[in-house]
Amino acid sequence: MSPPDPETSPIPAPEPPGRPRFEFRQRPSEVITQRAGSVVVAYGLWTAAAAVGLLAALAMLIDLDGVQGAVRATVDRDFPNESAVTRDRAVAAATGVLIGGAFVVSVLTGITATAMRAGRGAARVVLVLLIAVVVVEIVLAVDVVSPLALGLLVVNAALGAAGTVMMYLPDANNWFAIKRR
């Protein structure tokens, strides 16, 4: 065998240039931030408020005849000139608003509290609006629902107020600002 002829042997190709390297920022979904302790406490308070609100709706539903009787007494006293059909409709509507409102507000509170825990800042505003609805329901429920149901509604409002304070503390605000970026 003879040595390879340098004129006929293939010339090795040069190495391709290296690929450029780019520094990318982490995607926001990759950044893991520790949830603020006040947000965890606020979530617990709001979840408890939702559960107590459901208990209040259940207490009103169990005492449905008492609620309807109290509403009927109020309607008959305040609107004696209305027809019986109109008063029956008013009793049904008011009872439905009290019981259905407590149920719907409690379910929405639980769902919105979960969104708040996930870092949705708008959920904080919705929770404040929901607690305002609970306060209106308390005003409507005075002298109409049982003392147990009224007490549960007041506890619901107190838990929501405490949850509101906790979710607007400075460390919670900082955590929501980081999650917003």
CB 152 within 8 A of CB 55: yes
Q: What global pTM score does this model have? A: 0.76
pLDDT for position 29? 57
Q: Is the pLDDT of residue 3 over 60?
A: yes
pLDDT for position 173? 86
103-159 confidence digits (pLDDT tens): 999 999 999 999 998 888 889 999 999 999 999 999 989 988 999 999 999 999 999
Q: Structural domain boundaries of the chain?
A: 37-180
What is the torsion angle, in degrees rounded to the nearest 10, for the CA atoms of residue 78, residue 83, residue 84 and residue 85? -120
Q: Is the pLDDT of residue 176 over 70?
A: yes
CA distances from 71 to 32, 113, 158 (A): 52, 32, 25
92 closest CA partner among 74, 66, 63, 72: 72
83-103 confidence digits (pLDDT tens): 889 888 988 999 999 999 999
Which positions ≥6 away from 153 have C-beta within 8 Å?
A: 53, 56, 102, 134, 137, 138, 141, 145
pLDDT for position 27? 64
**138 three-state secondary structure:** helix
Tokens matching residue 167: 């979710």
6-60 confidence digits (pLDDT tens): 666 677 778 887 777 766 666 655 556 677 788 899 999 999 999 999 999 999 9
Tokens matching residue 34: 């520790």
pLDDT for position 28? 59
pLDDT for position 119? 83
